[in-house]
Amino acid sequence: MHWTTELLSSALAHVATQVSTGGPAKAPATPARPKRPLIPGVLLKFVMALSGAVLVLYLVVHMIGNLQIFWGPTAINGYAEWLRTLLEPVLGWEGLVWVVRIALLLSVVGHIWAATVLALRAKRARPVKYAAGNKVKGSYTARTMRWGGVIVLLFVIYHILDLTVGVANPVGEHLRPYENITAGFAPDRWYITLFYVISLVAIWFHLKHGLWSAIQTLGRSSNRREKTLKAAATVFTTVLIVGFLIVPISATFGWI
């Protein structure tokens, strides 16, 4: 296809080197090609898609569980207790919770590791920026995946300190989610609620692209299905995020 280019390029490169250096004394101009990557990029994307899927499944359960707060303190505190009794005969008290936590940790580590490797490769693959800017940008959600992901990670760390460990929460009592939530999102702590809202919007952006992208990465998208899949991803993400949002907002406005 580009056999002409190939012939031309070697000849041109030769001539060009001589022009600039005044002789063949200088080392050949071809830049060093990177070594073979250990893991193909496509496989790293599979890691991202599958670990992302685990995290999304967890978010669905998490969101539905949160809604118990609208049934009062006994409902949600009882739910927290019940989660720890699940499969107790086999795994012991809180056993399943720890199994889920380890699965989540592995998924998060896998997701971030693959993203970092791919981001570093992408940086090498596009070392020079366009003087006129890149006008063919692609979707906004896709372009904000990396930094958006960092924001989501920072939020998750704070969220765990707030409502799992309890150190960032004014009550922070174990197995008392109702008290923790209502105190954590109390009206005078509106800035915490605002932080949660902004973070959840960031997650909305991340998932809106991530869900569809995962389907494409797993080879399940097609021209015919692309629009439907994208719409389904948007609806799913919106329902999920609204489900999360109403809890802190309701706590701040005293609707619980």
In the complex, the residues that contact another protein under the rule CB under 8 A are 1-6, 8-9, 12-13, 16-17, 19-21, 26, 29-31, 33-34, 36-37, 40-46, 118, 121-122, 124-139, 142-143, 145, 209, 212-213, 216-223, 226
Cα(107)–Cα(113) distance, integer angstroms: 10
Nearer to another protein, 12 or 165 (CB): 12
Q: Give how far the C-alpha of residue 255 lies from the chain's centroid of Cα atoms, to the nearest Å.
A: 31
Least separation in angstroms between residue 94's CB and another protein is 34
Cα(229)–Cα(181) distance, integer angstroms: 35
Cα maximum dimension of the chain: 85
Least separation in angstroms between residue 179's CB and another protein is 42
Residue appearing with tokens 């940790």: 105
Tell me whether residue 176 is exposed, middle or buried, using C-beta atoms within 10 angstroms of its C-beta: 0 to 12, 13 to 18, 19 or more. Answer: middle
Least separation in angstroms between residue 142's CB and another protein is 4
Least separation in angstroms between residue 112's CB and another protein is 15
Nearer to another protein, 89 or 224 (CB): 224
Least separation in angstroms between residue 217's CB and another protein is 5
Nearer to another protein, 7 or 154 (CB): 7
Nearer to another protein, 100 or 142 (CB): 142
Nearer to another protein, 33 or 191 (CB): 33
DSSP string, 123-177: HHHS-S--TT--S----HHHHTHHHHHHHHHHHHHHHHIIIII-TTSSS--TT-H
Least separation in angstroms between residue 114's CB and another protein is 9
Nearer to another protein, 27 or 167 (CB): 27
Residue appearing with tokens 């592995």: 106
Residue appearing with tokens 């197995």: 175
Could you tell me where the DSSP H helices lie in the chain?
3-21, 41-66, 73-85, 88-91, 95-125, 140-143, 145-160, 177-184, 190-217, 223-252
Token pair belonging to 186: 């109390």
